[in-house]
Homo-oligomer: A and B are copies of this chain.
Amino acid sequence: MNRINKVVLVGGTHGNEFTGAYLIKKFEQYPHLIQRDSFETLTFFGNPKAFEVARRYIDKDLNRCFKIQDLENPTLSTYEEIRAKDINEMLGGKGKSPVDIILDLHSTTSNMGLSILLDNFLHPFNLQLAAHLSLTHPEVKVCWAPLIESRCLQSISEFGFAIEVGAVAQAVLNAELFQKTEKLVETILDYLEAYNQGSISQTNSTLTLYEYVKDIDYPRNDLGEIQAMIHPQLQFRDYEPLNPGDPMFLTFDGKEIVYEGESTVYPIFINEAAYYEKGIAMGLTEKRHVTV
């Protein structure tokens, strides 16, 4: 990428993730906060209908609707499937959008702190930005899900990524996380401005990357009903090492279920409310150190 011309900040892709939704409202009220000299910054509200009723979605998770084959499938016609097609058109079309970076602001009931979520191809530009954010905001963690094709909104743009902040309950504003997220967005915009001005020094630095390996579901019975909870020793311990033999779940009658993998992993999205229905109790990652 030679130069960034257009950035779109998105919130409310999930209607009950208030941090991003209200940040977008704030940026719309005070546009000077996100304006920079060398590129255009626009805001966009992902799922206003779901936000009105403080739910993640109306019919279907909007942030799983952005695969090209789905965007091109005329038979998909739920509210979110149509909304995804509309968004894709408004933003210029996946793979050919004039938007360089879509930054989608999410929140989670997991203790993810301030997380950068990269999917798809790991472009050096994103890695350098992530390394910069890790340095300037030591709280920031960087995750990478090496997918064949992202289903997420930010994948409309080539360098799009998501921010996940937590732990915060659904449909709740947490002032501290709101302010931290706002500062992180400011830092990102400042970085992009410096990038355009050629004032980013290309120093080799090491970035810690949490690479997604697989999901773990809750133990369930034949009817699909959950039979155990996240173990108290694992609750809120996102990004901390989970070793073979460490407690993972606690059944309702008090039995411990341990992690039976062969090596240490680093769970993320532990006990995310929206993932119960997706069959995900947590995602396991491996920790990598990459030089960027």
Contacts and interface: CB of A to CB of B under 8 A. Distances in A.
Contact of A232 (B55, B167, B175, B253): B175
Nearest to A254: B179
Oligomer: number of copies:
2
Contact of A250 (B175, B229, B254): B175
A63 interface: no
A54 interface: yes
Interface in A160-182: 167-176, 178-179
A226 B54 contact: no
Nearest to A26: B252
Contact of A276 (B30, B171, B225, B250): B171
A176 B230 CA distance: 10
A148 to B, nearest CB: 30
A271 interface: yes
A132 interface: no
A169 B171 CA distance: 9
B55 A235 contact: no
A29 B226 CA distance: 13
Given A175-B250, A235-B175, A109 B169 contact: yes
Among A22, A172, A179, A276, the one with the most B-chain Cβ atoms within 10 Å of its Cβ is A172
Contact of A55 (B55, B109, B169, B229): B55
